[in-house]
């Protein structure tokens, strides 16, 4: 494993032009091209391609094309999760999605980031911070989850929200930035 890949996976600053990382992204793009080009009735082929692309994928996971990611191998999705059209996951570090989640259209899980300091950014340094989505979470249309965020089990995030900080389990949150509006009483 290259030094830059080790740095990337550790959440440290790395240079994405590293040959091994470039090859990994090319592999993901090739799998995504096949996946996004599958026919609607090709469920078995889609499932096989997801298993090839993702680090872990549970049973009965549905990811609607088009789907985009950087590497794929840093993504794990739990059983019964549904990812709707046009989802983007920038997975330079782990993105973990629990079981029975619902991700609406155009959700973005953005684990990748860049230095705020202009000089390292100009030189091409990047980094990332993992994203964790608990079980039975519903992310509404266009939700953006920023690097390093954890969303607890059973939480609902309203359409268009930008999640910049962790959200606890069992709440409804929305807005920019997303704020908890109320707890969910499931009784």
114 is known as an active-site residue: yes
Residues 95, 111: contact at Cβ < 8 Å? yes
pTM for the model stands at 0.96
Catalytic residue among 114, 138, 158, 169: 114
pLDDT of amino acid 187: 46
* 56 three-class SS: strand
pLDDT of amino acid 131: 98
Query: Which tens digit of pLDDT belongs to each residue from 136-181?
Result: 999 999 999 999 999 999 999 999 999 999 999 999 999 999 999 9
pLDDT of amino acid 186: 67
Q: Distance (Å, rounded) from C-alpha 143 to C-alpha 15?
A: 28
Q: Which residues pair with 150 in a beta bridge?
A: 132
Q: Distance (Å, rounded) from C-alpha 163 to C-alpha 64?
A: 23
Torsion angle in degrees (nearest 10) through CA of 75, 81, 85, 86: -20
For 139, residues 6+ apart whose C-beta sits below 8 A from its C-beta are: 101, 102, 103, 104, 107, 133, 145, 151, 157
Burial of 130 (0-12, 13-18, 19+ CB in 10 A): middle
Closest CA to 111 of 124, 97, 123: 97
Q: Distance (Å, rounded) from C-alpha 146 to C-alpha 111?
A: 6
Structural domains of the chain, ranges and CATH numbers in brackets: 3-183 (2.160.10.10)
Q: Which residues of the chain have pLDDT under 70?
A: 186-187
């Amino acid at each position: 494993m290259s030094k830059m890949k080790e740095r990337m996976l550790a959440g440290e600053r790395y240079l994405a032009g590293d040959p091994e990382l470039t090859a990994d992204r090319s592999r993901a793009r090739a799998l995504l091209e096949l996946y996004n080009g599958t026919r609607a009735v090709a469920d078995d082929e889609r499932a096989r391609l997801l298993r090839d692309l993702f680090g872990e994928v549970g049973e009965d996971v549905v990811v609607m094309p088009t789907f985009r990611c950087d590497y794929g191998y840093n993504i794990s999705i739990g059983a019964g999760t549904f990812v709707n059209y046009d989802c983007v996951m920038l997975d330079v570090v782990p993105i973990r999605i629990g079981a029975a989640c619902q991700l609406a259209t155009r959700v973005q899980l953005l684990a990748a980031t860049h230095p705020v300091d202009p000089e390292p950014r100009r030189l091409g340094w990047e980094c990332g911070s993992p994203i964790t989505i608990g079980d039975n979470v519903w992310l509404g249309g266009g939700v953006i989850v920023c690097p390093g965020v954890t969303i607890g089990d059973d939480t609902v995030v309203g359409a268009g929200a930008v999640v910049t900080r962790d959200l606890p389990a069992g709440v409804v949150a929305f807005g920019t930035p997303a704020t908890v509006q109320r707890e969910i009483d499931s009784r």
